[in-house]
A and B are shown apart, each in its own frame.
Chain A
């Protein structure tokens, strides 16, 4: 019953957009011919204007189209679109505009944000080679991921200590009391591994993402992206 199939990106609507159009929802219309509309159909200009010819003299006072605008009973149970019908799956692509003009932020503001990110990427922070290495860190059970610069740390211990303080900052203590966690990472090949096995310097060059998993004391932690 849903009317027009919504185009999700700004690619121009395809001809099919009117195929699903169902004018049954609108009473007293007399626009049945619209149902058969397709962009490449044999539509004559005349049909459209003929139907509305009556209004030519009174258009200032009357609408150009009489439409009761009453919904059908069936329409009450709206079928919702899925929450996400397109995915942006790689955080490295995250900076690109996927939809023109969305989110609605003025270009100079975007430039300022971008400037900041690029600034951080370009400037090192003094740990030798210069370039920052940003990775996203997600902790199981915490909605908000964080971004950290691997160049800030010089050892696994340093990293894990920092992560503990970052993630327990806003959480209630008792949730994590007596819980044990393990740090996993996704390497260049896309595999998820437990952190700590390879030398630190190799680690920071291969790590793509970090995930802190809660240890179930009976079983081994599941390693995997979700």
Chain B
């Protein structure tokens, strides 16, 4: 006879205990313990993260978790950032908002990434959620300032409005005036992506002056330099600030006013913006530099000497985004000055130029890897690299968790040895045992994938372009990388074999993207038909794949696991390979 538990904890106690468990992973584990824990847990889950909006339907989420307060959704695949996903592909948020409007009247936060948001969706949000507090639209599109006006007018408790990197139809700057005079709760406002010149500065100033809790303010390019001082004086409590265009005729009164305003902000830790920088105005921020932990100069087209000087004033820097104008010399200065640096991103100032227009090479990255013991996250665009440098970086910085290298010219070889970068990236995955994200570039054979499959056991996301020789490469990755969740591949000679041989692996991943590879229509169909837990979608703008022979490679393939079955909102150039979806709503 089985022993029964002498007692069990009352539901309220369990619920209270669960309330301390925030992470999704832990919550999922809790819900799998037993039926009663599943029930209790689902009623008290407040935050939902859906990494792929098509992996589950809004109805399923709502049925399981009836009391959610915060929803985070991601839509398009990552390569949409680089124009590889045609317009109209999908990722519409409206169906989610529509269902949540009824089911979650107390919803407080919506965070979206790479989704299509319409003014209608925004209006629905404004109308439906009385206690709405947080709206983050990251790399979203499809909406205009009219939608924002609706949010401003209705959301009395709004704390956070963050439009980072979204593509907004900027119809008028007057939407800011829609925040009523009684509205005072803004904590974080990011409008840096807004395009027009029509931002109503006075509305902005009035808003800032009546929001005493404002801690993060990121302005757009159109806000002129001479307005910044006033805004800063209205919000000296700011922790994060993004300027507009940082240029004006050099005038000492404007300069000293600006410098004074910055020095007044005793808690300022993060600066960004800096479009169109006039170097002579940079010293205005020197008073805050010693406290700065985050600096985004990735729009600042200033030259190396100015960048070097600036960076030397910032010993507390943890995060730096910058253009390659910083050059190796600037990175060497960074390495000696900024011992707390955790994240570095270097973007190309002239990405399509044939020859380098700044003296930035692998040396800069090597210097930073040596000098900055806490460096964890790297995004680096450069034009030359060597295996020796990569090996050095790997040995210097085994604590790297994100390493994205973009050698601008596809298939560039090691400039010293003319060899592929297999050894170099091999060293990275071998030494950096906690590596979670990796982007490859340069000349690479199947060997690099063998290394990755062998060593990269914690790798969750891998981006591959113009690499490999054969299906073996893909096979190594799919069979070796235990933690892999997202794999995106373009222009590689990977075909059916590795994909089909590792089909069940795909069910353990969020998604796989393959474009300009050699996967045949036949293989896609097979995957779609034999793997019901996967949605296999072919994106092909040449017309129906069925009009071509089965062996013909498809343009683009996107496979993702889903419990919702094939989606119904596919545009004409997307075909589902799943058997039972002959119906398509056009």
- Main secondary structure, interface of A, reads loop
Q: Which of A6, A48, A112 contacts B275 (CB 8 A)?
A: A112
Cβ-defined contact, B502 with A63, below 8 A: yes
Say yes or no for A177: interface residue by CB 8 A criterion: no
Q: Mark A47-78, 1 if CB is under 8 A from B, else 0.
A: 01100100110011111111101010001001
Q: B352 within 8 Å of A by Cβ?
A: yes
Find out whether the CB atom of A4 lies under 8 angstroms from the CB atom of B472. Answer: no
12 contacts between A and B (CB under 8 A): A3-B471, A4-B470, A13-B518, A41-B551, A63-B504, A71-B472, A78-B445, A83-B443, A88-B354, A96-B352, A143-B356, A144-B359
Asked if A133 CB lies within 8 Å of chain B CBs, one says no
Contact of A146 with B357 at beta-carbon distance under 8 Å, contacts A48-B522, A62-B504, A103-B408 already known: yes
Interface residue? A158 (CB, 8 A): no
Q: Given A62-B504, A63-B504, A65-B500, is A4 in contact with B495 using a C-beta cutoff of 8 Å? A: yes
Is B418 within 8 A of A83, CB to CB? yes
Which residue of A112, A138, A146 contacts B299 across the interface (Cβ within 8 Å)? Answer: A112
Contact B516 A60 (CB under 8 A): no
Bound CA–CA A94/B349 (angstroms):
13
**Interface set, chain B 433-488, CB cutoff 8 A to A:** 439, 443, 445-447, 463, 465-466, 469-472, 475-476, 479
Q: Is A153 an interface residue (CB 8 A)?
A: no
Interface string of A144-170 (1 = CB under 8 A from B): 111100000000000000000000001
Question: Using a Cβ cutoff of 8 Å, how many contacts connect chains A and B?
Answer: 201
Decide yes or no: A2 and B469 within 8 Å by CB, A13-B516, A83-B418 being known contacts: yes
B280 within 8 Å of A (CB atoms):
no
* Cα separation A43 to B521 with both chains bound (whole Å): 13
Contact A60 B81 (CB under 8 A): no
Residue B497 CB within 8 A of the other chain: yes
Q: Give the top 8 A-B pairs by smallest Cβ distance, nearest first.
A: A101-B82, A65-B500, A4-B493, A64-B500, A59-B530, A3-B470, A67-B501, A145-B355
User: Is residue B165 contacting chain A, with contact meaning CB distance below 8 A?
Assistant: yes
The distance from the CB of A66 to the nearest CB of chain B, in whole angstroms, is 7
Residues of B close to A7: CB separation below 8 A:
491, 516
**Cα distance, A38 to B351, chains bound together (Å):** 38
- Across the interface, B352 reaches (CB within 8 A) one of A6, A52, A82, A98, namely A98
Are A43 and B550 in touch, CB under 8 angstroms? yes
Judge whether B526 and A49 touch: CB under 8 Å.
yes
A180 within 8 A of B: no
A219 close to B (CB within 8 Å):
no
B65, chain A: closest CB distance, angstroms: 27
Check if B82 sits within 8 Å of A105, measured CB to CB: yes
A91 touches B353 (CB 8 A): yes
- Chain A's nearest CB lies how many Å from the CB of B126? 26
Residue B83 lies at the interface, judged by CB distance under 8 Å to chain A: yes
A residues 94-143 with Cβ under 8 Å of B? 94-110, 112-113, 116-117, 119, 136, 138, 143
Cα distance, A70 to B83, chains bound together (Å): 36
Q: How far is the CA of A109 from the CA of B490 in the complex (A)?
A: 21
What's the Cα separation between A23 and B552 when bound, in Å? Answer: 17
Contact of B446 (CB < 8 Å), options: A13, A41, A78, A109: A78
Check if B301 is an interface residue, CB within 8 A of chain A.
yes
What residues of chain A lie closer than 8 Å to B406, measured between beta carbons? 103-104
- At the interface, is chain B mostly helix, strand, loop or mixed? loop
Q: Mark B8-51, 1 if CB is under 8 A from A, else 0.
A: 00000000000000000000000000000000000000000000
How far apart are the CA atoms of A7 and B493 in the complex, in Å?
A: 8
**B79 lies within 8 A of chain A by Cβ:** yes
Rounded to whole Å, the gap between the CB of B9 and the closest CB of chain A is 37
**B381 contacts partner chain A, Cβ-Cβ < 8 Å:** yes
**Closest residue of A by beta carbon distance from B384:** A143
Mark A residues whose CB is within 8 Å of B.
2-7, 10, 12-13, 15, 17-18, 21, 23, 25-26, 29, 34, 37-41, 43, 45, 48-49, 52, 55-56, 59-67, 69, 71, 75, 78, 80-85, 88, 91, 94-110, 112-113, 116-117, 119, 136, 138, 143-147, 170
Are A41 and B351 in contact, with the CB atoms below 8 A? no
List B residues at the A interface (Cβ < 8 Å): 79, 81-84, 139, 165, 167, 193, 275-276, 298-299, 301, 329, 347-359, 361, 381, 384, 406, 408-413, 418-420, 439, 443, 445-447, 463, 465-466, 469-472, 475-476, 479, 490-491, 493, 495-498, 500-504, 516, 518, 522, 526-527, 530-531, 542, 548-553, 555
Residue of A with least CB distance to B497 = A67
CA distance A65 to B519 in the complex (A): 14
Nearest B residue to A147, CB-CB: B357
Residues of A close to B549: CB separation below 8 A: 39-41, 43
Q: Are A64 and B530 in contact (CB under 8 A)?
A: yes
Closest to B503 in A: A64
Asked if A64 meets B501 with Cβ closer than 8 Å, knowing A69-B479, A83-B412, the reply is yes
A-B contact sample (15 more), CB < 8 A, given A105-B348, A112-B275? A2-B470, A7-B516, A39-B551, A45-B550, A55-B530, A63-B500, A64-B527, A67-B498, A75-B446, A78-B445, A82-B411, A91-B353, A98-B352, A99-B410, A113-B348
B residues in contact with A2, CB < 8 Å: 469-470
The closest CB in chain A to the CB of B442 belongs to: A83
CB contacts (< 8 Å) of B419 on chain A: these are: 80
Q: Which residues of A contact B551 (CB under 8 A)?
A: 18, 34, 37-39, 41, 43
Contact of B411 among A49, A56, A84 (CB under 8 A): A84
In angstroms, how far is the closest chain B Cβ from the Cβ of A91? 6
Residue picked from A84, A85, A91, A101, most chain B C-beta under 10 Å = A101
List of A residues within 8 angstroms of B516 by Cβ:
7, 10, 13
Which of A108, A116, A145 is the one whose CB lies under 8 Å from B301? A116
* Distance A64 CA – B472 CA, assembled complex (angstroms): 16
Q: Known contacts being A39-B552, A103-B348, A109-B347, is A80 close to B542, with CB within 8 Å?
A: no
Chain A: minimal CB distance from B256 (Å): 27
A145 touches B443 (CB 8 A): no
CA separation between A128 and B240, bound complex, in Å? 43
Residue in chain B with minimal CB distance to A110 = B351
